[in-house]
Structure 1
Amino acid sequence: MGILRPVTHKPPVWNLDTLTSFLSSNTVDENNPFATSRHTATLLLLCSGRRVHDLTLLLVDSEHCIDDGSNIILKPVFGSKTDSDTHRQSGWKLLPNTSSKNLDPVFWVRRLIDLLKDRRDSGNCPNLFINIRGQAKAASRTVIAGWIKTVLTEAGIPATPGSLRSAVSSKNWSNNLPLDEILSRGNWKSKETFTRFYRREILPASASNSITRMFNPAD
């Protein structure tokens, strides 16, 4: 039976520490829309472990973006893969990182909002992530994934943008976070999906600061 139905082993996933180290030391031009957009997008996925598509659901109007001067809560609009009549994706509560500006999601979300305010207003586009060229409109999943891919390439990580989800959740698992917390943070609908497809062995890498502590799911 073992020969007829061999056990398939999931390949290991790249280590989140590699990306965290790169982001913490990389120089980002805060006045460059492309550099700021891709850094912010990557940082939010690194904090949360959610899907690239979920970034397209984040808005900056007063109903969906609440900044209390310390933390920022983003309330995604309907449209996540897990959204239904009975379930909605939880909010994103971003916490400041006082030890590293490059790894501070609150700073970078504020910076991106300010940097692209005039462009958003001109296109009447309230999305946090908007396209950099042409007429102002919401950045698509494909566009955002392209931004993140350039970051991974520069960090020396030969992986797809979607692999961030597995890398984050597997890292949280290896750090002994409770399963319920991992599922809540990443907006997982099924624990079976996580354990079967996304929980993987992590490749070794040099140690770095944890970034997941800068994110909490919000009601």
Structure 2
Amino acid sequence: MIPLTILVVSLVVWLVKRRRTSKLAAAAGADLVPREKQNTNRSFPDPEADAVEAALARGEWQPAAQAIAAAGTDWERRSYLVDIVADHAARDDAWLRAWQAARPDDPDAAVVRAAAQVALAWEIRTGAWAKHVTGEQAAGFLRVLAGGLHQRQRRPGAGRHQRGDGHLRTATALTTAPHPGTADHGGRGKPVPPGPARLLRSPA
């Protein structure tokens, strides 16, 4: 009889504690943003970036151009915005081609183009170890990066904002450094064959 009484008392205590814990958890989460409204892509609210992304989804490049230009020499902010805009361009660059057609010497558009090329190149290569990367993936990786450098070299305005030109320097380093995935284990001495067909198109 005594063991049964102890069991009942223990069960009652557990239920009371569980109910109290549930109430405390509910109270603690009352002021939190609902899960369905949370943006897990950013660690802090950024209305400007949200507006830029919304505009890009509509095919409007002007807000992105304005935001990046407004960042000026705040290189951390500038790089952050360029990455956001470039990710969109890697998926669909129609608006970026319109931007470059409207402002062919805009260095910000050139940097976004280069960053988008880098993002797309890594999408083609994937983040796998070199031994798991196919020759076609490696060739496509280098080909897309080389396309980004070509865009830079043929645009006279792209040399401005040199300190914030990290994406272009990254593309330069990756296309000139040896790469174990290429046919001759270095990317030199043999022409790089065409990679996958899904490449960012150059503006007319």
State the TM-score, normalizing by the size of structure 1: 0.26
Greater Rg over alpha carbons, structure: 2
Structure number with the higher strand fraction is 1
Structure number with the higher helix fraction is 2
State the TM-score, normalizing by the size of structure 2: 0.27
